[in-house]
């Protein structure tokens, strides 16, 4: 465990050194993220300029949700997304050999070897939004809820990581996995809004599939509901269990996929 | 002219090689529409109003569907990045050594790509618009349809020359990728891709936003189709759009002229 933490620290350090070699590029990347945040908040403001609540969420609760989503997206993008996207290139070029030969767990090394520092401010900004929303709600988060909210938030991150890992593992068979980003984008789309917007009758199939089987709708909704709405014990426990199950499943599938890696072109 | 036709023909063949991937990604791109429909349904039902900034619920959804058509014509994936890469790596020489106009070549290539993209996306689009037909209360008149098609052509021309100008900045700035990200992100929002521009709370700024070149990339064709632009205003908007197209056309020529004088043909 300590060795893995030390390695993670080294990966993060080297990634930061790499980014700082092209400082203006790095700053522009951060600027893009800030523009995205501006767009997200303008969209949010526009919606609440027209309506006092959306699917039972008032403006401040929704802002909490937006902050949590932004932080979760930032977390996945900072630590995993770039590494997972590059995986298909490693398979195609045969460079995956060099990753598999290292005396370290392949999943750990492949999905964490580079940290994208330009998206790291998103995590901080997300939590700033959460704090601001909490202040606006006027009811501070009870102390006992804080660690539980963080655990649930990490469960949401873990769920998102597991989806990403499952998609990544498919690259071994597909070689050119250009649609990976599109499918991932679809997942983030499902996480972006409270699950209550899917309460329409005709959206029932979506609610069932993405609420229970591939529970993307729960990744952000459940932690936020736990913090600002009434606690739903069943769903809270379900998120915890399903996050563990999906993590194990995705790990097994990833290791299984590596058996089919043909090491071509190396 | 014949050589540009041949470039277009070959590019079309190249593009159609991966039509399976095209179809798959087109379908994936439409699924988020469901989320948008549900979100706006919640907004309209809790606002208890039939119309927000002149848009009914159905019109917002119709608009969000139509901007996909606008972007189908105006988005130029890879154009600026590939052009910048060619300048950076020196491979732009191959165009300069041949009796061919660089921008003309890029235009033929892009027309073919668009033709391939539109033809392969036709089936998913027909399915999408067929299943969402109930969101279209009114259909434009034949003249309105002609204006719509013209606005799509204008979107293509402005989108093309705008991207060419951006890509050719690499004659001066070697690494334009990040700058492109900034512009693409801004364009996504300012073009009205995310939300109809009329809905934005921009007192005083709305007219400015509607007259920027970005608005012609997504908002303008969709607004014409939904008859959101009055007849008096329409010609003026077209005139401004054509001016933008001309501006970027001339700008691209000027940048190319001065860029080639700066270009030192290293690499490759």
ipTM value, please give it: 0.85
Report how far residue A97's alpha carbon sits from residue A262's, in angstroms, rounded to the nearest whole number. 10
Q: Does the CB of B33 have a partner CB in chain A at under 8 Å?
A: no
Q: Residue B106: name the closest of B73, B70, B85, B82 by CA.
A: B82
Report how far residue B181's alpha carbon sits from residue B126's, in angstroms, rounded to the nearest whole number. 31
Rounded to 5°, the CA angle A161-A165-A168 comes to 135
Average pLDDT, chain A: 89
Q: Model confidence at B100, in pLDDT bands (50, 70, 90)?
A: confident
pLDDT score, position A178: 64
Looking at chain B, which residue has its C-alpha nearest residue A178? B21
Q: Which long-range CB contacts under 8 A does B201-204 form with residues at least 24 apart?
A: B201/A45, B201/A46, B201/A49
Residues A186-238 have pLDDT tens digits of 888 899 999 999 888 888 888 888 889 989 999 999 999 999 988 889 999 99
Q: Is the pLDDT of residue A155 over 90?
A: yes
Average pLDDT, chain B: 86
Which residues in chain B have their CB less than 8 angstroms from residue A195's CB?
Answer: none
SS3 at position A13: helix
CB-based contact A22 B175, cutoff 8 Å: yes
Q: Is the pLDDT of residue A266 over 60?
A: no
B52 φ, ψ to 5°?
Answer: -120, 125
Interface probe, candidates A23, A24, A25, A32, chain B, greatest B C-beta count within 10 A? A32
The burial class, CB within 10 Å (0-12 / 13-18 / 19+), for B159 is buried
Q: Looking at the partner chain, which of B29, B38, B199 has a beta carbon nearest the beta carbon of A198?
A: B38
Report how far residue A67's alpha carbon sits from residue A59's, in angstroms, rounded to the nearest whole number. 12
> Looking at CA atoms only, how far is residue B236 from chain A in angstroms?
28
Q: How many CB pairs under 8 A join A and B?
A: 90
CB-based contact A45 B185, cutoff 8 Å: no
Q: Looking at the partner chain, which of A31, A39, A203 has a beta carbon nearest the beta carbon of B182?
A: A31
> Looking at CA atoms only, how far is residue A65 from chain B in angstroms?
14
A57 φ, ψ to 5°?
Answer: -110, 125
Report how far residue B67's alpha carbon sits from residue B193's, in angstroms, rounded to the nearest whole number. 6
Work out the average pLDDT over B147-173.
94
Which residues in chain B have their CB less than 8 angstroms from residue A42's CB?
Answer: 189, 200
Residues A20-41 have pLDDT tens digits of 887 877 888 888 889 999 999 9
Burial B99-136 (b: 16+ CB within 10 A, else e): eeebbebbbbbbbbbbebbeebbeebbeebbeebeebb
SS3 at position A54: strand
Report how far residue B144's alpha carbon sits from residue B141's, in angstroms, rounded to the nearest whole number. 5
- H/E run at residue A57: strand A57-58
> Looking at CA atoms only, how far is residue A2 from chain B in angstroms?
36
DSSP class of A53: E
CA distances in angstroms from A167 to A103, A119, A162, A213, A252, listed in the order given: 25, 21, 9, 16, 13
Q: Residue B220: name the closest of B193, B202, B251 by CA.
A: B193
Report how far residue B119's alpha carbon sits from residue B125's, in angstroms, rounded to the nearest whole number. 10
SS3 at position A130: helix
Burial A200-224 (b: 16+ CB within 10 A, else e): beebeebbeebbeeebbbbbbbbbb
HSE at residue A98, side-chain half, CA atoms within 13 A, is: 9
Report how far residue A33's alpha carbon sits from residue B178's, in angstroms, rounded to the nearest whole number. 11
* Sequential DSSP letters for chain B: -HHHHHHHHHHHHHHHTTHHHHHHHHHHHHTHHHHHHHHHHHHHHHHT-SEETTEEHHHHHHHHHHHHHHHHHH--TTHHHHHHHHHHHSTTHHHHTTTS-HHHHHHHHHHHHHHHHHHHHHHHHHHHHHHTGGG------HHHHHHHHHHHHHHHHHHHHHHHHHHHGGGT-S--HHHHHHHHHHHHHHTTSSS-GGGS--TTTHHHHHHSGGGGGTHHHHHHHTT-S-HHHHHHHHHHHHHHHHHHHHHHHHHHHHHHHH------
pLDDT score, position B230: 87
Q: Does the CB of B205 have a partner CB in chain A at under 8 Å?
A: no
Q: Which of A61-65, A85-89, A152-156, B13-17 has the lowest mean pLDDT?
A: B13-17
A247 vs B123 pLDDT, higher one: A247
pLDDT score, position B203: 67
The set of residues, in sequence order, having a beta carbon less than 8 Å from that of B156 and lying 6+ positions away, is: B73, B74, B114
Contact assessment for residue B152 and residue B221, using Cβ atoms and an 8 Å cutoff: yes
Q: Looking at the partner chain, which of B31, B175, B185 has a beta carbon nearest the beta carbon of A35?
A: B185
């Amino acid at each position: 465990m300590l060795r893995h933490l030390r390695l993670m620290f080294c990966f993060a350090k080297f990634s930061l050194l790499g980014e700082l070699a092209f400082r203006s590029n790095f700053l522009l990347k951060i600027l893009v993220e800030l523009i995205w945040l501006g767009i997200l908040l303008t969209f949010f403001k526009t919606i609440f300029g027209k309506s006092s609540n959306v699917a039972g969420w008032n403006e401040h609760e929704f802002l909490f949700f937006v902050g949590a989503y932004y932080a979760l997206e930032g977390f996945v993008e900072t630590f995993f997304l770039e590494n997972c996207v590059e995986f298909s290139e490693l398979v195609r070029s045969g460079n995956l050999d060099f990753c598999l030969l290292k005396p370290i767990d392949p999943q750990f090394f492949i999905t964490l070897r580079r940290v994208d520092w330009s998206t790291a401010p998103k995590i901080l900004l997300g939590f700033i939004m959460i704090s601001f929303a909490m202040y606006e709600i006027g009811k501070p988060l009870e102390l006992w809820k804080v660690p539980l909210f963080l655990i649930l938030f990490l469960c949401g991150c873990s769920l998102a990581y597991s989806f990403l890992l499952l998609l990544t593992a498919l690259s071994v068979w597909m070689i050119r996995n250009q649609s990976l980003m599109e499918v991932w984008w679809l997942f983030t789309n499902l996480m972006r809004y409270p699950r209550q917007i899917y309460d329409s009758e005709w959206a029932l199939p979506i609610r069932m599939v993405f609420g229970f089987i591939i529970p993307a709708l729960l990744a952000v909704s459940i932690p936020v509901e736990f913090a600002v709405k009434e606690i739903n014990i069943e769903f809270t426990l379900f998120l915890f269990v399903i996050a563990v199950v999906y993590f194990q499943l995705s790990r097994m599938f990833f290791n299984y996929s590596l058996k089919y890696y043909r090491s071509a072109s190396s | 002219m014949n050589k540009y036709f041949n470039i277009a023909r070959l590019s079309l063949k190249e593009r159609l090689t991966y039509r399976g991937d095209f179809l798959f990604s087109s379908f994936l791109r439409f699924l988020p529409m469901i989320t948008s429909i549900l979100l706006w349904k919640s907004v309209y039902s809790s606002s208890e109003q039939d119309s927000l900034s002149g848009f009914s619920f159905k019109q917002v959804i119709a608009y969000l569907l139509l901007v996909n058509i606008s972007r189908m014509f105006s988005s130029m994936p890879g154009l600026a990045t590939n052009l910048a890469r060619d300048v950076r790596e020196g491979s732009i020489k191959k165009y300069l050594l041949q009796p061919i106009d660089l921008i003309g070549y890029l235009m033929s290539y892009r027309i073919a790509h668009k033709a391939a993209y539109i033809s392969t996306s036709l089936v998913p689009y027909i399915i999408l618009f067929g299943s969402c037909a109930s969101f279209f209360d009114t259909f434009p008149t034949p003249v309105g349809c002609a204006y719509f098609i013209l606005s799509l052509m204008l979107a293509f021309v402005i989108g093309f020359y705008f991207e060419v100008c951006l890509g050719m900045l690499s004659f001066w700035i070697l690494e334009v990728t990040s700058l492109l990200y900034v512009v693409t992100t801004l364009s996504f929002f300012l073009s009205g891709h995310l939300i109809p521009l009329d809905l934005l709370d921009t007192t005083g700024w709305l007219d400015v936003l509607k007259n920027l070149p970005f608005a012609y990339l997504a908002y303008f064709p969709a607004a014409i189709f939904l008859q959101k632009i009055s007849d008096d205003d329409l010609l003026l908007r077209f005139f401004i759009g054509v001016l933008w197209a001309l501006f970027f056309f001339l700008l691209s020529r000027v940048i190319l002229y001065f860029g080639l004088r700066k270009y030192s043909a290293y690499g490759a």
